[in-house]
Amino acid sequence: MKLKDARILVTGASLGIGRETARVLAEAGARVAITGRHEERLHEAAKAMGAVAIVADAGKPSDVERTFDEVSRQLGGLDALVNNAGIGRFLDMESVTFEDFEKVYRVNIYGVALMGARAAGMFKAQKSRGHIINIGSTAGLKGFAGGSVYASSKFALRGMTECWQAELRKHNIRVTLVAPSEVATAFGREDGSEREPAPNKLSTAEIAYAIKSVLEMDDRGMIPELSVWASNPW
């Protein structure tokens, strides 16, 4: 895909991986729309990179519908979706409640599924190639203590991504799972404060440029899955 003038939607992009990815893509000449739940933070990010801001919760079906209405209206179509929005809860198995699963799955699975379905429909209607990138986690490759809710959501996302690949490949629509290990971001912090960079953790820039490289591959090829690990997390 040529990024110049490509129309790209990045969810959960007011902070962290989403924000840096949107910035890198906009810098490469893409026309970018970003979503996030916190209006002030989202508009600040959009202004900084010249993106379209759509205040929306990826876990709410009505917000998903409104997001694609805005993408159609303001971008005139879509060439790529980066499903980045995600949340986590980390509790031991005896403390986890139904509500914990519901809250995380609503964003990490249900919201991603609705976003992906709308994007695929748009790509088909345009009779053009398209690309969906789902941001997973290495937690979706190997579970860990306290990860029943979050890790299982990322395992489910990996399986769902493989199903989409099987469905959409014949339509020249590429689907990729990008799975980072631990990245120094605001993930899991209620106040939205970014963590300080750490020499043993990945940076948002590394993930953003990995996503950019996946998108830039010539349309004749695709990368089904890309895991990005910190070289020495200890």
Beta carbons of 178 and 228 less than 8 angstroms apart: yes
User: Is 150 annotated in the active site?
Assistant: yes
Active-site residue (options: 105, 110, 150, 209)? 150
Cα distance from N-terminal residue to C-terminal residue, the chain: 37
What span, in angstroms and rounded, lies between the C-alpha atoms of 5 and 212? 14
What is the rounded (10 degree) CA torsion for 135, 11, 57, 16?
80
Buried b (16+ CB within 10 A) or exposed e, 16-48: bbbbbbbbbbbebebbbbbbbbeeebbbebbee
User: What single DSSP character describes residue 183?
Assistant: B
Amino acid at 45: A
Tokens of 124: 């088909």
Residues annotated as catalytic (active site), given as ranges: 150
